[in-house]
Chains A and B, each alone.
Chain A
Amino acid sequence: MQILLIIIMVKLGFIDLDIPKGSNLMVYGPPLIGKSAFVRTLFNEEVSNGAGGIYVSTKDTAETLMEWFEKVGLDDFRIIDCVSKAMMEDVADTDKIKRVSIMDLTGISVRVNGFLEEYWRSGVRDILLAFDTISALLMYLNPQTVFRFLHVLASRLRAARGVGVYVVEEGMHDDKTTTTLKQLFNGVIEFKEDEEKRFFRFISSSSRTDWKEFVIEDGKVVIP
């Protein structure tokens, strides 16, 4: 029997990058270089173009995130807020916002799957999941625990043929942790600063782009 390997590609619009559906990418660079802005800009772009969007936030509350996205005109997406529970007494969940403790990886996993099912059953087939950041998980939980969690999550995104982007801070984790993390993903979007200019590039086992310059305007990433 002939085996056909069909890889369906998606284009990540604003960075002009073709990647296979079902990919999980690490967004990796030094603190404050603009990884979150990058991920939000990408998220805004894809979700505005019809993709289902799930944003897992370990840094900002759902309210802070909503504010940012409202400014760029996006309101129909889903949030898993891993911050509020630690800060205030319980705030109620809504259809679009679920709040879990950052320690509760099962809670995060279950909420992601709930949103995936909802999108799937309503006919949405392109999904973007943004996870900002994995580094925060690693502050509370040991690396093994986080790897197990990411293994399950990345496998689900792959099965659902969605795309996942996961922010990891450069310089915060030991080499072994960073290397293991990289192995969990299909590629890395890397960032660097050079003579006060910011650059990113994409690296996977099969390809590598040149460094591309970007600037941040109004919290959004713009490629000049």
Chain B
Amino acid sequence: MKIGIPVLEELLGRLPKGKTLTYYIDPEVEGDVFAMQTLYTNLEEGHRCAYVTSTMNSSSVKNRFREFGWELDDFQNFSMIDAYSGFVGSTSEERYVVKDPSNPSELDEVIRKVLRENDLVVVGALSAMIDICGEDFAGIAEGWTGVARDSGSRLVFSFVAWPYSESVLNRIKDMSNAVVTVGGVHHRVVLGYYYGILKADWVDVENVAVLFRLVRPGGVRAYIPKILVTGPFNAGKSSFVHSISNKAVSVDRLGTTVALDHGHVEYKGFSIDIFGTPGQERFDPLLKVLGREALGVILVVDSTQPKTFPRAKQMLEATTRFGLPYVIAANKQDMPGALSPEEIRKRMALPDDILIIPTVAKNGEGVYDVLEALLKLLIGGRYDEP
């Protein structure tokens, strides 16, 4: 059976019989689409698929699918399990109904039956069931993985990882054959989304993180993040892009860049496009266009040229207006008279929490430290950043 998510499909292959796949979702990310996409892909393949709703009525579920261009009513092989209406006291027309969704044993009974009668069962909000029935409910859900195994069907959970107790979070991960995490790229606000594989017991998984967007219609689409390398004239931007990239092109005239440097780097499972901007002021409008698209900024300064620092600061302001995180590369550290990062911080009047990392772009020294620091800001920055 297909998984239906780009890139994930290549990494995990097909979803084998009897397996449970959990999408483990950051509460701030619109991650319910993953399980919906897996379901819809298999409806199209002709499999008997069922969707359990706990947080909205069935017409809202259908509209939610419709947002992505997926028409559930077209499929005879689809059934809905309504575990919502009973909760708000309305009636339901669906084939399977959980009359009292706050009753764990009724939920258990219905889901077990549905698992035996279908090839794929998608539980749209396992976390909402736990919210209603309590943390012990994880044990009941664990039982369903056994039913899937024995009946040869497949079970997919959408689980929103609210701050539950560690033991519940671990239990959810442990009981699943595969866990795909869906997370946010944070910098004060959520700037982007990514997914990665935490585990899968039927293949050897690589450590990858894939940035994605939601396309309407279309669903989950992988995309390549852009990182912007900017800085004053002659600071070493082109050298930086070239030494970090697996391949790169520049359009230089008389040693200065007159168009974008473009490089591409595969790093720790990320596939990243790097753009170096020209340093001359006449290209500033370009900065604005790129800044809107980018996910982060690397500012390269020539540590031996303090007279260029005001210009560096100006470029930083132009790009960070878009709210992007940035890291500074204190370049040309091999040259005599190069100022230390701390000296640069002082002269540029930068706050203590801005990262300034020494580099020698010409031979690649330190360039990956810069990238690493920027990625950490983006992916590692959780709710409680300062």
Contacts and interface: CB of A to CB of B under 8 A. Distances in A.
* A and B bind: yes
Interface of A: 1-4, 85-86, 89-90, 101, 103-107, 109-110, 113-114, 116-117, 119-121, 123, 141-142, 144-145, 148-149, 151-152, 155-156, 158-161
Contact of A106 (B59, B84, B160): B160
A214 to B, nearest CB: 33
Contacts of A142: 131-132, 134
Contacts of A86: 88
B100 interface: no
Contacts of A160: 188-189
Most buried by A among B30, B54, B134, B385: B30
Interface string B160-188: 10111000000000000000000010101
A117 B128 contact: no
Given A103-B56, A159-B188, A152 B163 contact: yes
A85 B59 CA distance: 10
Q: Which 7 A-B pairs have the closest CB atoms?
A: A155-B383, A145-B131, A104-B55, A148-B162, A116-B189, A120-B189, A120-B323
Nearest to B128: A103
Nearest to A161: B188
Interface in B1-60: 25, 27-30, 32, 54-57, 59-60
Contact of B59 (A89, A113, A116): A89
Given A103-B87, A106-B55, A117 B32 contact: no
Contacts of A144: 131
28 contacts: A1-B352, A89-B59, A101-B56, A101-B57, A103-B54, A103-B55, A104-B55, A105-B128, A105-B162, A106-B25, A113-B184, A114-B30, A116-B190, A120-B189, A121-B292, A121-B323, A123-B322, A142-B132, A142-B134, A149-B162, A152-B162, A152-B383, A155-B383, A156-B190, A156-B383, A158-B384, A160-B189, A161-B188
Contacts of B188: 120, 159-161
A120 B162 CA distance: 24
B20 to A, nearest CB: 20
Contact of B28 (A89, A141, A152): A152
B63 interface: yes
B127 interface: yes
B125 interface: yes
A106 B56 contact: no
A104 to B, nearest CB: 4
Given A106-B127, A113-B190, A148-B164, A85 B56 contact: yes
B348 interface: no
Interface residues of B, number: 40
Nearest to B54: A103
Nearest to A111: B30
Contacts of A113: 28-29, 184, 189-190
Given A101-B57, A104-B55, 14 more contacts: A90-B63, A103-B54, A103-B128, A104-B56, A105-B27, A105-B128, A106-B25, A106-B128, A110-B28, A117-B190, A120-B191, A145-B131, A158-B384, A159-B385
A141 B129 CA distance: 11
B320 to A, nearest CB: 10
B95 interface: no
Nearest to B56: A101
B84 A103 contact: yes
Most buried by A among B27, B127, B163: B27
Contact of A109 (B28, B131, B164, B186): B28
Given A85-B56, A103-B88, A109-B27, A117 B191 contact: yes
Interface in B183-239: 184, 186, 188-191
B134 to A, nearest CB: 8
B189 A123 contact: no
Interface in B137-162: 160, 162
A22 B128 CA distance: 28
A151 B25 CA distance: 16
Interface string B55-91: 1110110010000000000000000000010011000
A101 B128 CA distance: 13
Contacts of B190: 113, 116-117, 156
A105 B162 CA distance: 10
Interface string B319-352: 0011100000000000000000000000000001
A177 to B, nearest CB: 16
A123 B319 CA distance: 11
Contacts of A117: 189-191
Contacts of B59: 89-90
B39 to A, nearest CB: 17
Contacts of B191: 117, 120-121
Given A101-B60, A120-B189, A152-B163, A106 B32 contact: yes
Nearest to A99: B60
Contacts of A89: 59
Contacts of B54: 103
Nearest to B324: A121
B161 to A, nearest CB: 10
Most buried by A among B59, B128, B189: B189
B383 A159 contact: yes
Contacts of B32: 106
A122 B191 CA distance: 12
A134 B344 CA distance: 48
A103 B132 CA distance: 10
Interface in B94-140: 125, 127-128, 131-132, 134
